[in-house]
Structure 1
């Protein structure tokens, strides 16, 4: 005489669907198996759980009382299974992350790995448009970028606000300045990013605001390339102010027309929630 998990699942499925066939479809077992589980339960305890009337099954008062108790038991069983599956995923899983800049993303990745050391992190880096497309195309699970569209496709959470700064070599004529204007910058060799860069969009807008369209002496497709070009004193580059943790002598100058702070977002597809993605968002809240 036993009230097994299989019998509870069969009883509840029949109660909720109203028939053995519908319950069997839900449980993905045969209809005779569902009927046998319910009959065995009735036989072992000498009770009647359903009134069989034609093709219908009506739960008895006893069945209703039993369902009220066993439904919560089944929910706890499902929760226990979820916890075990999550634990396994956290030991063996992988999280794919897209970064437009190495920072602040690497900070959050570090916090995530300290919390969940068993998870392998795979990082894709690239321009704003490349990383946005990586999320849309599901090449990455979650990403960090500024200017993420608020169009319903994405779950977004602000991680910081920052602006774009000018990068100059320590021997550059402007190196001792704290702030400069676009008109001043236009008189020097400029290093721009290629199309698709969120940094370059800010830079272009700033120069347009003072009716300037300077011709850069160099165009590079990566932020690291810009940093190296500035380090070799080839011109003035631009970068998000917290886009790198490098501690060399390159100076970061505020640009008057780029002073507005913009939000940087952690984001993922709205309809692609997962344990890993949820945990990454949770780490962001406490970092």
Structure 2
């Protein structure tokens, strides 16, 4: 069965833009032309690709699966255009960043903005796992997050390392200690993060290896909200040390048994490395990382 490039372009633009009129504007065609191409494409499938609503469209599960495939055509077109016209890139360049650690990566993002003001940045904050999923599904161009394992088909640049710490309310008795133990923390009222967060994964692993079974009566999703709860004496929270902005109402203490650092990475799909925006962001991240490293150290790029 022959699928036309016009159908694929119309479908991709509609998914990205969220409605037919913006997709038509993006491609420089009429809205009826977009809907006609979408109709032709949908007729090739047993089930709908898009759900229609009064304010736009949302891809169905089948539509999302198709977009993971068809979005590669956008990469192919961009790579061909760059090869044919290396000094001229037509249209607006946008870069979608999925960020799990905003405080760690915001200086890099600001530096990129200063060097490439013409690039439109779309920044979304998510958990580390969600950031990885977004890159793999081409919902984001680059993930900025901790990685325990390298996703298949992706490259990563080790950018920053920091360890997990306990977040204590100022004046808490444990603040007199230079570091705290899991045994000490097990006696306290604890505030846990959502179960799918890397922070909670590291905490759970630590308590499990220490044969401890902590009990938490407070679960929260946002590290800033956890810090606010800690400051009001609701319990002791946890975070990676450079994810927390210093303030007088809380204090951070290393956890004796959790001394290993977690590495924050810049992660992207290998076959998208040369695309405008992605290529420039990676190069800038590489330059920053090289400047921060002692001369004898090597970068972890794989």
Coarse TM-score class (shorter-chain normalised): 0.5 to 0.7
How many Å apart are 1:246 and its aligned residue?
4.4
How many Å apart are 1:248 and its aligned residue?
4.1
Q: Which runs of 5+ in 1 are unaligned?
A: 1-77
Choose which of 84, 87, 98 in structure 2 pairs with 1:83: 87
Q: 1:254 to 1:215 in 2, by over 3 A?
A: same
Do the aligned residues in 2 keep the contact of 1:152 with 1:270 (CA within 8 Å)? no
**CA distance in structure 1 between the partners assigned to 2:140 and 2:123 by the alignment:** 8
Q: Which runs of 5+ in 2 are unaligned?
A: 1-81, 289-302
How many Å apart are 1:257 and its aligned residue?
1.2
Partner of residue 115, structure 1: 115
Q: 1:135 to 1:184 in 2, by over 3 A?
A: same
Tell me if 1:126 matches 2:130.
no
Which stretch has the larger CA shift, 144-153 or 163-172?
A: 144-153
Deviations 1:78-135 (A, max 9, x none): 86821121xx56xx32211011121212121111111112222111112122222111
Partner of residue 152, structure 2: 152
User: What is the TM-score normalised by the length of structure 1?
Assistant: 0.67
How many Å apart are 1:275 and its aligned residue?
1.5
Tell me if 1:244 matches 2:248.
no
Where 2:271 maps in the other structure, the secondary structure is coil
**CA distance in structure 2 between the partners assigned to 1:277 and 1:176 by the alignment:** 46
Do the aligned residues in 2 keep the contact of 1:102 with 1:244 (CA within 8 Å)? no
Aligned ranges for residues 1-287 of structure 1 at < 5 Å? 81-85=85-89, 92-273=92-273, 274-287=275-288
Aligned length: 207
Deviations 1:10-67 (A, max 9, x none): xxxxxxxxxxxxxxxxxxxxxxxxxxxxxxxxxxxxxxxxxxxxxxxxxxxxxxxxxx
Do the aligned residues in 2 keep the contact of 1:157 with 1:265 (CA within 8 Å)? yes
**CA distance in structure 2 between the partners assigned to 1:246 and 1:114 by the alignment:** 26
Q: 1:206 to 1:101 in 2, by over 3 A?
A: same
How many Å apart are 1:271 and its aligned residue?
2.3
Deviations 1:165-209 (A, max 9, x none): 110111222123220000000111101111110011111111112
Where 2:102 maps in the other structure, the secondary structure is coil
**CA distance in structure 1 between the partners assigned to 2:151 and 2:126 by the alignment:** 22
Of structures 1 and 2, the larger Rg is shown by 1
Where 2:238 maps in the other structure, the secondary structure is strand
Do the aligned residues in 1 keep the contact of 2:170 with 2:248 (CA within 8 Å)? no
**CA distance in structure 1 between the partners assigned to 2:131 and 2:151 by the alignment:** 17
Moved over 4 A (4+): none
User: What is the TM-score normalised by the length of structure 2?
Assistant: 0.64
Q: 1:130 to 1:284 in 2, by over 3 A?
A: same
Q: 1:124 to 1:148 in 2, by over 3 A?
A: farther
Which stretch has the larger CA shift, 185-194 or 124-133?
A: 124-133
How many Å apart are 1:245 and its aligned residue?
3.3
